[in-house]
Structure 1
Amino acid sequence: MTSPTTCSKNRRLFSRREMVWLSGTALLTGRAWGVLSEGDRKWAEAKLRQLSLAERVGQMMSVHKGVAGLREGLRVGKAGSLQVPRAGKTTARDVVEFNNEIQSLTRIPLITMGAVEAGMGKVAREATVFPNNMAIGATDSEELAHAAARVTAKEARALGIFWPGVTVADVNSNPLNPIINTRSFGDSPEKVSRLLVASIRAVQDERLISTANHFPGHGATSQDSHLELPTVDRTREELDRIDLPPFRAAIAAGVGTMCTAHICYPALEPDQKLPATMSKAILTKLLRDELGFEGFVHSDSLMMEAITRNFTFADAAVQSVRAGCDVLLAYPDWEECFKAVLTAAEKDGEFRSRVDESAGRLLAWKRWVGLFDAKPIDLESCLAVLSNPAHKNTAARVARASMTAVRGNEFLSSLSQRERPLCIVGRQRRPDPSHAALLELLRERWPEATSFELEVEPTAERLRELDGRAKGADAVIFLGFTEVRNNHPDSVRFPKRQAEAVARLSRDVPLAVLCFGSPYAVDGFPDARALACAYDKIPVCLSAAVDALLGKQPWPGKPPVKLG
C-alpha cells in the first residue's frame, strides 16, 4: 500500500485546489477500486509457486493475433495477455470466436486487450464508436466522460475483453504534437485529470482493467515516437505542474495499469539516451516509490522506431523489465523477447525476483477481473449488449455536446437564413468515406446550399471553378478534415493548398471554417468571420455539425485547448 511518506510527497506536488478535488475523487471512486485486496495478493502468491520460470516470464509477454506460432506459444504459456483482432470489417462473431478459442488453449487465462481509443466499435463493427477524447474535453463533462467509458467497458466485457483500451492521460501542451493531439482531453492538467478519472471509474465499475497513457507524459512532444526517439526538455517543476497531475489523479483513483512513453526526459533520467520505458529512475523511483502506483506497468510497443533505431530488441526487453515494466508489448518478435527475458532471469537472481514480482501482479489482476472464473462468451448475449440503442445514443450525446463555436457564433447562427450559401467540403489526405458522407448529409438536410468538393491538391482549373462558385455566394462554409495519424506529422493541419485556396476567399465573401479533427487547424484562418470545431469525422459528429449549422442544435462546447 502507499506509504505516509508517499502521500506527503503527493500532497506537496498538488495545488490546494487540486488536493480538494482529488480528496473528493477518492471518496467518489473508493480507493479500493482497482487496488487489489489482500486476498487477491495471497492467491496470486500461491498461484505463482505453481508456475515454472518460463511460465512466469510468459505472463509478462503481450502479443497479438498476427504473430508467428501464436497457438503453440499459448499452449506452453509464453504469453499472459493478447490484443484481439481489430479492423473495419471485424464482426462480433469474429472477436467472440477468437477469444473463446485462444482462452481454451491456455492453462492460465489471458488478459485480452482491446488496445483502442474511442470505443469498441474499433474492434467489432456492431459495437459503438465514440468521438475522440478532445471532443469529450470540449464537453467538459465528467458525466459524459463516464458514460462513454461505461458503454465501452460494457461492450468490452460482452466481447470477452478484460483490458478495454487506451485512456490517454497526456496533456496536449504542444499544438503541433503529431501523435497525441486529439487523443488528449485538452491542454489543461486539471481538465485532463477530471475527465481521466471519470473514465477510469467507469471502466473499473465493470470490473475491468483501466489504463493511463503515456507515463510520464507525451503531450509536449513535436516528434512521433513511432518514427524516432523524442526528448522532452522540461524541468522537473514543469513536469510536476503540467504533465504529472493526471497521472497522480489516476493513481489516486486506483488505475489498473500505466503505459510507458518511449521518450527521453533529462530532468528525470540522467542518461539522456534512455527513454522512460527503460528508466528505473522514472518507472521505479518516480512512479512507484514517489507517486505510489500499485498497478502494473506495460511498455508501449517495443517495435516502435524510438526503440528499434536505438536498441536491439533483446536489450530493450531486458532493460525495460529492470526499469520496472511488468508487461512487454512484444509483437511481432515475441519469441526473441521471451528468450531474452528468460535467459536474464536464469542468470541473475535479482532479475528473477523482478520477473516474479511482475508475474504475481498480473496473476492478481487476472483474479480481480474474474478471469479464472470466466465462462466462454455467448454470442447472442454479446450481440444483445452491442445492440442496446442507449449505447449509440450516448455517442450522439457526446457529439452534440462537443460542437464548439470558437468565434462568430452569431454569424454561424445566421447561415441557415442565407440565400446562396456555398459549402466547400475538403477531401482528406487518406481516402476515406467521411467527406462523401458529409456531402450526402448536406444535400439531404440543406438543399438550398451549393456543395463543392475540394481536392487535397486542387488543379488550377478547379481553383478557377471554386472562385466562380464563391462569387455567386453570400456566405462560404469550409468543412475540412484533419486526422492524427502515425507516421504523418503534418496530418494535424488542413492540406496546405486546400487551406490556401479557402483562405483567399475571405477577402470577398464572409467565411466560416468548421474542422472535423484537430481544433488547432482553424487558427490558420485569421480573416474568417466564424471558426468552429467538430473534432471527429465519425457519423454522429458529422450529423451534429450539420444540425448546428442549420440552427437545429446549439454550439454548447468550449475549446479544450488555447487557440489564437
Structure 2
Amino acid sequence: MFNTLKNNFNPLLLTLIFLSSLTALAQQSKEEARAQWVDSTYQSLTNAQKIGQLFVVMVQSKAPEKELKVFEEELKRHQPGGVIFSLGTPYKQAQLTNHYQSFSTVPLMISMDAEWGVAMRLDSVPKYPWNMTLGAIQDLSLLSTIGRHMGMQAKRLGVHMNFAPVVDVNINPNNPIIGNRSFGSDVRRVSARALALSQGMNAAGVFTCAKHFPGHGDTSVDSHKALPVLPFTRERLDSIELYPYKTPLLQGVQGVMVAHLDVPVLTGEPGLPVSLSHKVTTGLLQKELNFKGLVFTDALNMKGASDFSPDGDVSLKALLAGNDVLVIPNDLGLSIAHLSEALKKGVLTEARLAYSVKKILAAKYDLGLNQYSPVQLNGLTKDLNQPIYKQTIDKAYAQAATYVYQTDTAPIVLKPSDKVAFVAFGEASPAVFKEALQSFGAQAVAVSDLKNGVQALKTFDYVVVGHHRSMETAYKAHRFSPEEVALLKDINALSNTTILAVFTKPYAVLDIPFIKEIPLLFFGYQNAPQIQQYAAQVLYGKKVALGVLPVSLKGIKH
C-alpha cells in the first residue's frame, strides 16, 4: 500500500502544495505585519490624535502664502488624517505634500476630487474627457486604460485616494450638479464604465471612492446649496440609484462617499440627510450591501449637511451614523473638540472610535504609508505630460464620437463635390471644426449673414450646423438660445439636408421641439479640438463614429 502511494505520488502536486503553503504563510505574515502596525500606531496616539485621523481637510495649492501658513498651523495643531488638494499647480502641490508629510505624526492620506483626472483641479496637465463623454465609448478596455493613466498621474503627485468614479445614474436632464459628471442614464452601462475606470486607477496604485451613495442622478437641487429630496419608493431606488452598488463595482472600490440627500423611504425620517442616518450609512451600505471599505461623508461644509446641524455636532452625527472619514468640516478644531467631549461623556465610545480609526490606518498601510517616501520633484512636469496620455485622450474622443441617423434610408456621407455650408452656433470657438470642413470644400456662413432670412443657404446641398458651448468647466451652459432654435427651424425647413453637430452636453437637443425632423445628428459631447477634427472626418466618411448615446433623449432615434 505504502509503495503504491509512493510510486503514484505526483511530484508536481507536491510542488504546488509547497508553493501554496508558502503563499499562505506570506499572506498570513503580511496580515500580521499590517495588524501590528495598525495596533501599535493606534496605541501611540492620544485621544485627540485618534479623533484627528477621522478628518480630511482641504487646501488649494494656488492659495496665497498667508492662507497656506494658516492651513499649515491648523495641520500642526489638530493633526488630521488626510488632506484633499483642490485648485493649483502640480509642482506646488507636490512641494506642499512633502512639507505637510514631513511634520505629520501619522502619514497623511492625500486625496483629490479628480473625476476626469488631476486636470480637473490642476493646470499644466492633459485634460481627459468628462464622464458623459466617456459614457459614449463602447470599449471598456479603453476606459480601464484611461483610469490607469489617471492613476499614474495621481500617484506621481503623491495622491493616494481619488474621489471617483461618479456612479450616479443621470436620468434628470435638468440635474444642476451631476450632468457631465455621470457616465449616462443606463444603469448597466454606468456600472460597467465606473468599474473599468476604477480598476485602471487601482492598477496604478491609487484607491478609488464610488459616489454619491445612494444616488444623486435624479435631483433638481445642488446639495452644495440645499438638501435635495428623493421622494421615490424602495423599488425605484433599487432599480436605478442603488443599482451600481449591487454590482461588482462595490467590491472594486476602496471607498464609498455618502451624499447629503433626503431619502425618506430609506431613513424613515423626512429631512434627515442620508449621510447622518445610521439606518442608511450602516444598515443599508455596510450591512445589507456588505461594503467593507472606507465610508466617506461628502463635504460636511455643504449646505445639505451644515444646515441640518451646527459645526461639530454634524461631524459627531456623521460618525455615529457609520461614516469612517469626515470630509471638509467647516471648523476642524471645533469638530475635534466636540468629538472629544462626546468621547468623555460616553456618547462616542472608545470601540466606535477605534473601529473607524483602525480602518483608516489599515488603508494607509495598504497604500504603503507605513514606509512613506516623499514625492520626487525632479522631472515631475515631464512625467505628468507623457505622450501616451495625449494619445489616449485623442483615442477617447475618437471612440466617443456618435452619429445618429434619424431616417430609414442609407446613412449620408458627404463628398467634396457636394455644396456644403457651415453655420456656427454658441459662444465657444468652432475654429477647428470649421477649418476641417473647409478642407473638404465646405463654405462657412456667419449667423450675422442670416439675420434677414436663410435664403443664402438655399443653393447648398447640405447645411452643417455646429453648436459650440464652452467646456471651461463641466457646469457651463449647454442650451440653445431661443434665437438659435428659431434659426435652426428655418434652416431645417429648406429643401436641402440639415446636419446638426452638438459639441456640448447632449441634453442640449431637448431644446429643439422639431428634433425628430433633423435627419442627421452628430454628438461630440465637448468642444474639444480633437472631437471637432474627428467630426468633420466622420461626416465626410474618412472616419467611423463608434460611440453610442450615453443618455436617453426623448424624440431621438437611438
Is TM-score (shorter-chain normalized) higher than 0.5?
yes
Which of residues 459, 477, 501 in structure 1 aligns to 2:487?
501
Change (3 A) 1:330 1:114: closer
Task: Show the counterpart of 2:464.
Answer: 477
Partners of 1:234 and 1:44 in 2: CA distance:
42
* Unpaired segments ≥5 residues, structure 1: 1-32, 428-434, 455-460
Equivalent residues in 2 for 1:293-312, closer than 5 Å: 293-312=291-310
Task: Show the counterpart of 1:559.
Answer: 549
3-state SS, counterpart of residue 167 of structure 1: coil
Task: Show the counterpart of 2:83.
Answer: 82
Residue 81 of structure 1: CA displacement? 1.4
Partners of 2:244 and 2:210 in 1: CA distance:
9
Q: 8 Å contact 2:51–2:340 — kept in the other structure? A: yes
Q: 8 Å contact 1:76–1:106 — kept in the other structure? A: no
Task: Show the counterpart of 2:341.
Answer: 343
The reply to whether residue 528 of structure 1 matches residue 518 of structure 2 is: yes
Partners of 1:537 and 1:451 in 2: CA distance:
18
The reply to whether residue 166 of structure 1 matches residue 156 of structure 2 is: no
Residue 226 of structure 1: CA displacement? 2.1
Equivalent residues in 2 for 1:228-377, closer than 5 Å: 228-249=226-247, 252-377=250-375
Partners of 2:98 and 2:338 in 1: CA distance:
30
Task: Show the counterpart of 2:38.
Answer: 44
Deviation string, structure 1 residues 454-492 (Cα, Å, up to 9, x no partner) = 6xxxxxx7761674654554433222245799997x945
Q: 8 Å contact 1:127–1:387 — kept in the other structure? A: yes
Partners of 2:478 and 2:36 in 1: CA distance:
48
Equivalent residues in 2 for 1:432-471, closer than 5 Å: 435-436=428-429, 438-443=430-435, 446-447=438-439, 448-451=441-444, 464=451, 467=454, 469-471=456-458
Deviation string, structure 1 residues 194-248 (Cα, Å, up to 9, x no partner) = 1121122112222221110100111121222222211112211222222222123
**Further displaced range: 209-218 or 61-70:** 61-70
Partners of 1:485 and 1:252 in 2: CA distance:
32
Partners of 2:456 and 2:92 in 1: CA distance:
48
Residue 533 of structure 1: CA displacement? 1.1
Q: Which amino acid aligns with 2:215?
A: G
Q: What RMSD, in angstroms, separates the aligned Cα atoms of the two structures? A: 2.8
3-state SS, counterpart of residue 404 of structure 2: strand
Residue 395 of structure 1: CA displacement? 1.1
Partners of 2:323 and 2:370 in 1: CA distance:
24
Partners of 1:486 and 1:223 in 2: CA distance:
19
Residue 39 of structure 1: CA displacement? 4.4
Partners of 2:433 and 2:405 in 1: CA distance:
24
Residue 176 of structure 1: CA displacement? 2.4
Q: TM-score normalized by structure 1?
A: 0.83
Q: Which amino acid aligns with 1:72?
A: E
Q: 8 Å contact 1:84–1:112 — kept in the other structure? A: yes
- The sequence identity of aligned pairs, in percent, is 27
Partners of 1:495 and 1:412 in 2: CA distance:
28
* Unpaired segments ≥5 residues, structure 2: 1-26, 61-66
Q: 8 Å contact 1:54–1:342 — kept in the other structure? A: yes
Q: 8 Å contact 2:194–2:249 — kept in the other structure? A: no
Q: Which amino acid aligns with 2:170?
A: N
Structure number with the bigger relative contact order (C-alpha 8 A, sep ≥ 6) is 1
Which of residues 194, 197, 201 in structure 1 aligns to 2:195?
197
Task: Show the counterpart of 1:516.
Answer: 503
3-state SS, counterpart of residue 552 of structure 1: coil
Deviation string, structure 1 residues 151-175 (Cα, Å, up to 9, x no partner) = 0001111111111342111112223
Task: Show the counterpart of 1:221.
Answer: 219
Partners of 1:483 and 1:256 in 2: CA distance:
34
Q: Which runs of 4+ in 1 moved over 6 A?
A: 483-488
Residue 272 of structure 1: CA displacement? 0.9
Deviation string, structure 1 residues 243-277 (Cα, Å, up to 9, x no partner) = 22212325553411111111111221110101111
Partners of 1:453 and 1:278 in 2: CA distance:
54
Residue 497 of structure 1: CA displacement? 3.6
3-state SS, counterpart of residue 403 of structure 2: strand
Q: 8 Å contact 2:420–2:461 — kept in the other structure? A: yes
Pair member with larger Rg: 2
